[in-house]
């Protein structure tokens, strides 16, 4: 099923019609009022786009896409891009058997996104490639992960290195995040925020598929992943912190690697808090008061009607940097 976020609909309207954020928001609000809340905000945005003559969904017959055109739910995707970054291959355990998963950051003149590889032959191919190599990916599928679009390769996908007749000039670094103050944040922003941890909440854990990290469903004695079937689940940590930069504060949600970075612990060490939450007190006190630069995406928690920041990366910063930034506020 094709899925496009509210922010992506707004982006398409702005790109094609030059309409401002404020105008789009007002038009969406009018549609919501007219239909007495019978449709979602995304539904209202679709109506606005249609009235303005903006085509949201791609041609179903189309297979070749630019990166900015790719949306969750597309299958049979063909895309050409330059390898911007290669990430370390990691292992996972499924039904008692170990496997590997690798990923790269792929870019073209319209943007960048993460490409995930599960097949061992594809992983070997990519491990032999270099950053800046141009590749063509054939027959992949797109999905969303923590608000970010990704392209995944299955065993029927293909990777062609330096395909003939293909060239990528400048790469649009849409993930070269700009920095913002917390008071300036808006839903959909992909930015860096510099500030201080003022409160740390006890970590929670959810059972997830070891391959795709999506929540699994218990069925009798088995745990089932919607994509990978019966799996031996693993426990994924979620850590919430309250982050303040002097202009405002925001709840930051950390998953997996960012939890490990925030606590300066390995994933194995973090698992002990699942059985013994009282042991978290020391780690909590060490994290509270730390100065961090956090990179991520702003989302809206509809249940609590508040903005939240989903962390994609974070680093500890020198307090002097924070003081220098504060002087510019």
Domain boundaries, the chain: 6-51, 67-161, 178-326
Tell me the C-alpha to C-alpha distance, in Å, between residue 29 and each of 33, 40, 44, 184, 302: 6, 11, 8, 21, 16
Look at residue 34 in the predicted model and tell me its pLDDT: 86
Phi and psi for 163 in degrees, rounded to 5? -60, 140
CA 115, distance to chain mean position in Å, is: 12
The C-alpha atoms of residue 265 and residue 311 are separated, in whole angstroms, by 17
**How is residue 64 written in tokens?**
């070749």
Q: Say which CATH superfamily domain 178-326 falls into.
A: Nucleic acid-binding proteins (2.40.50.140)
Residue 69 burial (CB < 10 Å; 0-12/13-18/19+)?
Answer: middle
Q: Residue 299, Cβ neighbours under 10 Å: how many?
A: 19
Q: Residue 18, Cβ neighbours under 10 Å: how many?
A: 8
CATH T-level topology, domain 67-161: OB fold (Dihydrolipoamide Acetyltransferase, E2P) (2.40.50)
Look at residue 134 in the predicted model and tell me its pLDDT: 93
Look at residue 129 in the predicted model and tell me its pLDDT: 92
**What is the CA angle 5-117-133, rounded to 5?**
95
Fold agreement (67-161, 178-326): yes
The C-alpha atoms of residue 157 and residue 136 are separated, in whole angstroms, by 11
The C-alpha atoms of residue 256 and residue 237 are separated, in whole angstroms, by 6
Q: Which residues share a beta bridge with 160?
A: 136
Look at residue 3 in the predicted model and tell me its pLDDT: 66
The C-alpha atoms of residue 102 and residue 127 are separated, in whole angstroms, by 9
SS3 category, 245: coil
Q: Do residues 67 and 83 lie in contact, with contact meaning Cβ atoms separated by under 8 Å?
A: no
Look up residue 89 and give its DSSP letter. P
- Walk along the chain (329 residues) and give the pLDDT tens digit of each residue: 566 777 778 878 888 888 887 888 889 888 888 887 678 888 888 899 889 888 877 666 668 889 988 888 888 999 999 998 888 888 776 666 677 888 999 999 888 889 999 999 999 999 999 988 999 999 999 987 766 789 999 889 999 998 988 888 777 765 446 788 999 998 878 789 999 999 999 999 998 888 777 788 888 888 888 877 888 888 999 999 999 999 999 999 998 889 999 999 988 899 999 989 999 999 999 999 999 999 988 988 888 889 999 998 898 987 665 555 555 55
Q: Does the predicted model carry a pTM greater than 0.85?
A: no
**Percent of the residues in the chain that have a pLDDT greater than 70, as a whole number:** 90
The C-alpha atoms of residue 102 and residue 153 are separated, in whole angstroms, by 10
**What is the CA angle 225-227-229, rounded to 5?**
50
The C-alpha atoms of residue 42 and residue 51 are separated, in whole angstroms, by 14
SS3 category, 124: helix
Residues 6+ apart with CB under 8 A from 41: 6, 28, 32
């Amino acid at each position: 099923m094709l899925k496009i976020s509210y922010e992506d609909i707004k982006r398409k309207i702005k790109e094609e019609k030059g309409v401002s954020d404020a105008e789009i928001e007002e038009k969406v609000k009018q549609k919501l009022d007219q239909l007495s809340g019978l449709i979602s905000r995304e539904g209202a945005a679709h109506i606005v786009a249609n009235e303005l003559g903006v085509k949201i969904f791609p041609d179903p017959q189309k297979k070749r896409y630019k990166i900015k055109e790719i949306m969750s739910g597309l299958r049979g995707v063909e895309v050409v891009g330059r390898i911007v970054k290669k990430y370390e291959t990691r292992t996972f355990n499924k039904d008692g058997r170990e496997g590997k998963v690798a990923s790269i950051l792929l870019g073209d003149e319209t943007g960048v996104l993460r490409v995930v590889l599960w097949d061992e032959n594809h992983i070997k191919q990519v491990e032999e490639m270099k950053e800046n190599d141009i590749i063509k990916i054939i027959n992949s599928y797109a999905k969303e992960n923590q608000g970010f679009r990704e392209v995944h390769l299955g065993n029927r996908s293909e990777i062609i290195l330096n395909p003939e007749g293909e060239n990528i000039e400048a790469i649009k670094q849409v993930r070269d995040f700009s920095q913002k103050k917390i008071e300036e944040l808006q839903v959909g922003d992909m930015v860096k925020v510099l500030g201080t941890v003022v409160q740390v909440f006890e970590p929670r854990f959810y059972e997830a598929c070891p391959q795709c990290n999506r929540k699994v469903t218990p069925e009798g004695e088995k745990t089932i992943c919607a994509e990978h079937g019966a799996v031996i689940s693993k426990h994924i940590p979620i850590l919430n912190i309250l982050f303040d930069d002097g202009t405002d504060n925001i709840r930051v949600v950390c998953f997996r690697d960012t939890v490990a970075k925030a606590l300066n612990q390995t994933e194995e060490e973090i698992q002990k808090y699942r059985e013994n939450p009282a042991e978290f007190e020391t780690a909590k006190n060490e994290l509270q008061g730390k100065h961090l630069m956090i990179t991520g995406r702003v989302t809206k928690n509809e249940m609590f009607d508040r903005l939240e920041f989903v962390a994609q990366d974070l680093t500890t910063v020198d307090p002097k940097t924070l003081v220098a930034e504060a002087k510019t506020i």
